[in-house]
């Protein structure tokens, strides 16, 4: 088991939540980024889960 020593919470977003976080970013575009592998994701069944910190870094900090 991996222990999070900094006690920071890992937040995973669905495609819908990721798109809602950023103005101008559509669900379709987020899905395409996930499918192409441009945006690192975890696949849980049929759903893509996106780490919030990874999304923010990917977008250059624009989502804060």
The residues spanned by each domain of the chain are: 12-58
| Structure tokens given for 15 | 């495609």
Which residue, among 44, 39, 42, has the nearest Cα to 29 in the 3D structure?
39
* Rg value, the chain, Cα: 12
**What is the model's pLDDT at position 7?**
72
Where does residue 15 rank: exposed (0-12), middle (13-18), buried (19+ CB within 10 A)? buried
Tens digit of pLDDT per residue, the chain (64 long)? Answer: 566 566 778 999 999 999 999 889 999 999 999 999 999 999 999 999 999 999 999 988 655 4
**What is the model's pLDDT at position 8?**
78
**What is the model's pLDDT at position 11?**
94
Residues pairing with 4 in the sheet:
none
Indicate the pTM of the whole model: 0.78
Which residue, among 57, 19, 23, has the nearest Cα to 38 in the 3D structure?
57
Residues pairing with 16 in the sheet:
none
């Amino acid at each position: 088991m991996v222990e999070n020593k900094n006690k920071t919470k890992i937040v995973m977003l669905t495609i819908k939540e990721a798109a809602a976080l950023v103005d101008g970013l559509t669900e379709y575009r987020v899905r395409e980024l996930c499918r192409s592998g441009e945006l690192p994701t975890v696949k849980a069944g049929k759903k893509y889960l996106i780490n919030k910190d990874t999304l923010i870094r990917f977008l250059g900090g624009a989502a804060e």
